[in-house]
Chain A
């Protein structure tokens, strides 16, 4: 399979590799660089963009199909300029617009880490993007801001570390900030809530929907474990992020948490207008399908989060809640974590809409718009997969 030179040890120190491992975990790299059921980092995961599907590349050190022949300079250029050694532009689904802020030592550590992975021979499927590669240059001119991030002298080192990680490797705002027509971030609506894989990426700024204000320690716990008592559980694309962060250095995750929470700035809006009345049928469905667990709170035997406290119920659209109800929140088969069952197939679109509308009243929030339409759209999307 591999020739001897492919697998020969490279001159990296263990400390450097470990530093790279920590950074790779914070960067959530493995998620987009691993196909479903495939070998880690061997690429093939389809990242859906409004312009088509882009596949994560093979970043194992295989010489033919991976990046085994890359120099550190090649690797740096890819991360900082979004350009391959041959001078091709990558599509910005690869978040080089964030990685560009990484410092040299961190890039070298990441390089050490990926170059010491198991080389895997795996070709990646062709992308289906309709945008020509040269158009990316125009995009870059507008959205790629190279150079180091300015640190904020008025903040302490922890906050600045969090800022650096969030804005570079962790690329939080990639999903949590809304995008304009060209797919660029609307920086003036920084962290005001965006979209990821058909899910709503909740606002993390003053628009946050969290029924309870986030604290740094709650956010740290969330990012490390995906679960905060009587507050939140990770779902959708965030599960992969959290799974990765669970392997990162706790101090770095805490720094991220501090930075993010500092963006929330104000307590959430707890006082609400009287919620609209929902159908009795919705209540009945809730009682039969959800109530046995969700009425009782996580502390109770067999209990789950009361939905009045659930972020998904408080978000501006029912998108996430639809995903959660349909597909559940199921941990990876071999990991011991809490579970929410998948209800796909259990309800008709009409019943599901009634049920969702009822849960919204538990959050004491005004009714969502066109719940049925959103349920139908989500189902069509699910069937398309």
Chain B
């Protein structure tokens, strides 16, 4: 984990010089930190400046990122950073996002890491490019660089002398390795960064422009649909392709083991043929897990690691213990996964809305048996994914189908029930908290255990793709592994951020996966923050303390304290008037204990008779480090709150002994307009000059816990099992069953 650990102003330069270093800064104190040496952000992997920025002889500026635009607005934010540091208007910068033929390999766009990785790289690269151009002009005019100024895409010198960037980049000027130090524009001089910038992708999206991979139309393109087994693990016993292959427009039925697809000239023809195939396929059933998944998980073997061990004496005051559970959740993209692939002249190109084009290329190459160099993966936007959903799988499907139709671009899109039943879910989890207070009502000792499957089965190999598992000679996925601390997977945010003198935190990693799972926004942090922050409220009640005050008195980090105070203030915590049936709730976390700080305060009304929860006002305070696009941060935070409330109030994947039963939005209900909060206000705390901390995943945990705490405040029902169904609320209130 890298973070700025030392900043210094170089006197007289007029520029802020940042010295970056990579230092492990987890919650475990005491590890050695070694400063200096490595380059900031993804520059450490791709040090050449022209991997990131190219300037044409005409002065055109192209900036490359290995990250993907996922609707989170990263393209806009990166463009702001580049424009700022290059001293050009925002519009002058063209962005190229993840493409294995063009951009640096920055792995996955995940973990709220894009600004930390790519943003930091582009910030420094752009600053250094600007300095190089200044130096270039200085040499040309034999003037000291300090007397020159870069402005609007040109370098200006005394006497009206100027030269455009395009004139200055002749030769290999930018093909140099980055330096450890950059002269970045000081925040007080910012023109573009830190200002709310309208997102560059929105105009096309609201006018019917080509905005998604779904909209890609290549000449001669044909449409495919896959037929999936009714349940994971089922295998194809027999398939009668006769009826389908005779249907109008059908070009081909593809079958490889249990992988079935049909290709037709028109999309609806493919849909109709897919239904016909479905009706003529016979499957050998596979196993489904028992309904009580949490009891079942508890019987599975786990690999245990103690991730925090602070020995000492347990406290002598009151003690408390609680267990929390989270079901499988879906990513639930509104648009089912889609991809386009073209196999032509021995080369395969795949357009995909996955989160990592380079790992997808490796997986696809293995799947179709081509060398990596013969496969190109290009990112195109899709419907929001919130983690590893069906996007990569669809890329694999399209690739496999395209291989059998050389020269023809093939577009495949999943049906709704395929998305619902085949995407890898966010894992079901269990956590247990125990704590003891001291005589002053401070937390004296703390124990926490969390049980979880892996939170990443992302492809990087064919065995990670649905098609790879279904073909006649299936690829074996590599064994699941936990994501190590300090980021963590199932144990992300399992370590308390609060001051606890004695603590033990154990992560129980369960390798066996009853259902297919992978990364869903915030990974284990959603569950762990939900558990920890519910538990903090339970302890505050035990200590007869106000929940906000109780948190504050266990916090040391001034930025954490600021965020907690800002959310409480914005919400009007102290002046809250409790009407009957209403309550307020609070929660706070620093994502991964090393990224954005986020606090949420909200109010609810609980309808006692029905157990229905209605959410009123929500206030959120967010410190994402230096804010590049404040409105973008607000947008992400608002969305994160609503999504987390939906997970927490409504959602759970269900199945019977034959198949996943939550196969559409009726049986996997998500929150709709009449029930979203009355209002959401996001207060962005800007930290100019501080490292970018990311935003996307920071709200998921705090919103869930604030909801739980508010429900308790409203009606005395402590709900520790997600989702908070009406039945659970009523049961927790101890009410007799009624309508």
Contacts and interface: CB of A to CB of B under 8 A. Distances in A.
A104 interface: no
B29 interface: no
A381 interface: no
Contact of B666 (A39, A118, A339): A339
B668 A336 contact: yes
A338 to B, nearest CB: 6
A311 interface: no
Nearest to B610: A40
Contact of A118 (B417, B608, B668, B672): B608
B707 to A, nearest CB: 14
A113 interface: yes
Contact of B278 (A29, A41, A301, A330): A301
A333 interface: yes
Interface in A313-371: 330-331, 333-339
Given A336-B654, A339-B665, A118 B581 contact: yes
Contact of A300 (B279, B579, B609): B279
B738 A24 contact: yes
A1 interface: yes
A242 B266 CA distance: 43
A331 B738 contact: no
Nearest to B228: A301
Contacts of B275: 292, 296, 302
Contacts of B180: none
B666 A40 contact: no
Interface stretch (A13-21, A43-51, A173-181, A256-264): A13-21
A24 B739 contact: yes
Given A17-B736, A244-B739, A40 B609 contact: yes
A73 B575 CA distance: 45
A30 interface: yes
A247 interface: yes
B737 A302 contact: no
A243 B662 CA distance: 20
Nearest to A244: B739
Interface string B584-609: 00000000000000000000000111
A293 to B, nearest CB: 10
B414 to A, nearest CB: 12
Contact of A302 (B415, B649, B654): B415
Interface string B657-686: 000001111111101101100000000000
Contact of B739 (A30, A39, A338): A30
Interface in A22-54: 22, 24-25, 28-30, 39-41
A117 interface: yes
Contacts of A14: 736
Contacts of A25: 737-739
B171 interface: no
Interface string B724-739: 0110000000001111
A333 B738 contact: no
A41 B609 contact: yes
Interface in B10-65: none
Interface in B623-678: 649-650, 654, 662-669, 671-672, 674-675
Nearest to B579: A1
B739 A334 contact: no
Given A118-B581, A336-B669, A113 B738 contact: yes
B667 A338 contact: yes
Contacts of B669: 331, 333-336
Interface string A107-134: 0000001000110000000000000000
Given A292-B275, A301-B417, A334-B725, A243 B739 contact: yes
A131 B674 CA distance: 37
A25 B737 CA distance: 9
Nearest to A117: B609
A151 B608 CA distance: 38
B387 interface: no
A21 B735 CA distance: 10
Contacts of A335: 669
B230 interface: yes
A301 B666 contact: no
B279 A296 contact: yes
A300 B736 contact: no
A87 B531 CA distance: 56
Contacts of A334: 612, 649-650, 669, 675, 725-726
B580 to A, nearest CB: 6
B667 A336 contact: yes
B610 A301 contact: no
Interface string B512-528: 00000000000000000
Contacts of A1: 579-580
Nearest to B661: A336
- Listed residue (B609, B666, B737, B739) with the most chain A CB atoms within 10 angstroms of its CB: B739
A324 to B, nearest CB: 15
Contacts of A302: 275, 415, 417, 663
A235 to B, nearest CB: 14
Interface string A94-113: 00000000000000000001
Nearest to B654: A336
Nearest to B272: A292
B672 A40 contact: no
Contacts of A113: 736, 738
B193 to A, nearest CB: 41
Nearest to A7: B580
A247 B664 contact: no
Given A292-B275, A333-B674, A338-B666, A18 B737 contact: yes
A247 B726 contact: no
A205 to B, nearest CB: 28
B577 to A, nearest CB: 12
Contacts of B654: 336
Contacts of A30: 609, 738-739
B580 A40 contact: no
A39 B611 CA distance: 11
Nearest to A37: B674
Contacts of A301: 230, 278, 417
A153 to B, nearest CB: 33
Contacts of A247: 737-739
Contacts of B612: 334
A28 B738 CA distance: 10
Contact of A39 (B230, B278, B609, B674): B609
Interface string B97-114: 000000000000000000
Contacts of B668: 336
A265 to B, nearest CB: 31
Nearest to A297: B279
Interface string A236-256: 000000011001000000000
Given A30-B739, A118-B609, A333 B666 contact: no
Nearest to A21: B738
A39 B665 CA distance: 27
A331 to B, nearest CB: 6
A126 to B, nearest CB: 25
A40 B736 contact: no
A248 to B, nearest CB: 9
Nearest to B671: A333
Interface of B: 230, 271-272, 275, 278-279, 415, 417, 579-581, 607-610, 612, 649-650, 654, 662-669, 671-672, 674-675, 725-726, 736-739
Interface of A: 1-2, 14, 17-18, 21-22, 24-25, 28-30, 39-41, 113, 117-118, 243-244, 247, 292, 296, 300-302, 330-331, 333-339
25 contacts: A2-B580, A17-B736, A22-B737, A25-B739, A30-B739, A39-B607, A40-B609, A117-B609, A118-B581, A118-B608, A247-B737, A247-B738, A296-B279, A300-B278, A301-B417, A302-B275, A333-B669, A333-B674, A334-B612, A335-B669, A336-B666, A336-B668, A336-B669, A337-B667, A339-B667
Given A292-B272, A336-B668, A338-B666, 5 more contacts: A25-B737, A292-B275, A302-B275, A302-B415, A339-B664
